[in-house]
């Protein structure tokens, strides 16, 4: 099926001449252009207003002479901090012989969908619409697969050296999936709750169209499950980060404990012999007393503590497994 682009409102009357079903595409239209084309097609003013504003949730509204379907695909938003999944909103105004596709995003998801519609051997715009929707639903798989591959890399980084930047990236990925999950769930509910309306659309009552609608719902259900799996993987990676960070903190605390324990008896020894009592100052004097009480006792404390920590495994000695 041929996809016809509308760039100016004056193009609409010439394109609409004839009784053959056609597919019209509006790319980032101005409000005046969309209003003029909508009036030419006999669209409801409320439907035109929704497409002017955009930012809608997935829905299927039934009007006397047309229907408005808001559907979403997905792409990948390239950023320096890391790629994120991005929703692509598309509006479809469906009449008896025309499907008007309104979009404000020139993403790969829409490009692949248009290629599929152009290459499809269909002669009705409504049948092409179902293939377009199926292609948009399939566009969620590549971004989610991309996230799964990145999660494998982040888990390796967490195991090697947990950093705050890694935790922030995991939280960013988790938050980015909230809107995607809400959109997919809403989209699935629309397909499930408006099946009768979908079947009333001209061209969708054929057996092949029934199969496409059923496959479309199944694809959305599988995408919802894949999102939940990715969210669970992110949660597991965050738990792994907490575990790895706690282990790293415990290692640091162990080193500080060993150092503090070495200095504890030495501090006591210095404090004890530092008392300025006359009996002690008169009797503890000379090089011999210094070597015995000053250095000797300190060395004994250090050696004893070293042996205790070494046998306990705090200084790198591993305990042998007793068979």
Q: Are residues 177 and 240 in the same domain?
A: yes
At which of 228, 246, 264 does a domain end?
246
Inform me whether the pLDDT recorded for 9 exceeds 80.
no
CATH number of 222's domain? 3.30.460.20
Q: Which two tokens stand for residue 150?
A: 């990145």
- pLDDT tens sequence across 154-203: 989 888 888 889 999 999 999 999 999 999 999 888 887 665 555 555 54
69 DSSP β-pair partners: 60, 92
Calpha distance 101→4 (Å, rounded): 10
Query: How many distinct structural domains can be found in the chain?
Result: 2
* Alpha carbons 100 and 94: distance in angstroms, whole number: 6
Identify whether 253 is part of a domain: no
The CB-side HSE value for 257 (13 A sphere, CA atoms) comes to: 9
Rounded-to-integer distance, Cα 70 and Cα 93, Å: 9
Place of tokens 């692949």: 112
Residues 165-176 as b/e (b if ≥16 CB within 10 A, e otherwise) read ebbebbeebbeb
* Gap between the terminal Cα atoms of the chain: 76
Tell me the residue range of the domain where 228 lies. Answer: 3-246
> In this predicted model, what pLDDT tens digit does every residue of 261-283 receive, in sequence order?
888 888 888 887 777 777 777 77
Q: Does residue 118 share a domain with residue 233?
A: yes
**Whether 186 and 97 share a structural domain:** yes
**pLDDT tens sequence across 197-245:** 555 555 455 555 566 677 888 888 999 999 999 999 999 999 999 988 8
């Amino acid at each position: 099926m041929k996809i016809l682009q509308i760039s100016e409102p004056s193009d609409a009357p010439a394109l609409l001449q004839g009784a053959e079903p056609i597919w019209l595409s509006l790319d980032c239209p101005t409000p005046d252009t969309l209003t003029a084309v909508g009036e030419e097609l006999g669209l409801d003013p409320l439907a035109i207003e929704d497409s002017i504003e955009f930012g809608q949730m997935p829905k299927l509204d039934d009007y006397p002479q047309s229907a408005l379907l808001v559907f979403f695909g997905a792409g990948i938003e390239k950023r320096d901090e890391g790629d994120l999944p991005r929703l692509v909103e598309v509006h479809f105004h469906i009449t008896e012989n025309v499907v008007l596709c309104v979009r404000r995003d020139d993403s790969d998801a829409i490009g692949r969908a248009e290629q599929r519609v152009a290459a499809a051997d269909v002669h009705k715009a409504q049948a092409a619409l179902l293939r377009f929707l199926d292609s948009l639903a399939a566009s969620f798989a590549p971004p989610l697969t991309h996230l799964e591959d990145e999660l494998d890399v982040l888990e390796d980084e967490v195991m090697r050296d947990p950093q705050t930047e890694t935790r922030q990236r995991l939280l960013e990925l988790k938050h980015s999936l909230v809107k995607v999950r809400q959109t997919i769930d809403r989209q699935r509910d629309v397909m499930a709750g408006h099946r009768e309306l979908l079947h009333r659309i001209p061209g969708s009552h054929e057996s092949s169209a029934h199969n496409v609608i059923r496959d479309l719902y199944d694809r959305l259900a599988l995408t919802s499950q894949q999102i939940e799996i990715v969210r669970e993987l992110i949660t597991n990676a965050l738990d792994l980060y907490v575990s790895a960070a706690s282990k790293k903190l415990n290692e640091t605390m162990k080193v500080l404990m060993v150092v503090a324990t070495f200095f504890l008896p030495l501090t006591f020894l210095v404090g004890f012999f530092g008392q300025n009592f006359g009996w002690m100052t008169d009797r503890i004097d000379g090089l011999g007393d210094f070597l015995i009480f000053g250095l000797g006792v300190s060395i004994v404390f250090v050696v004893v503590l070293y042996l205790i920590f070494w046998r306990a495994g705090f200084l790198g000695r591993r305990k042998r497994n007793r068979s």
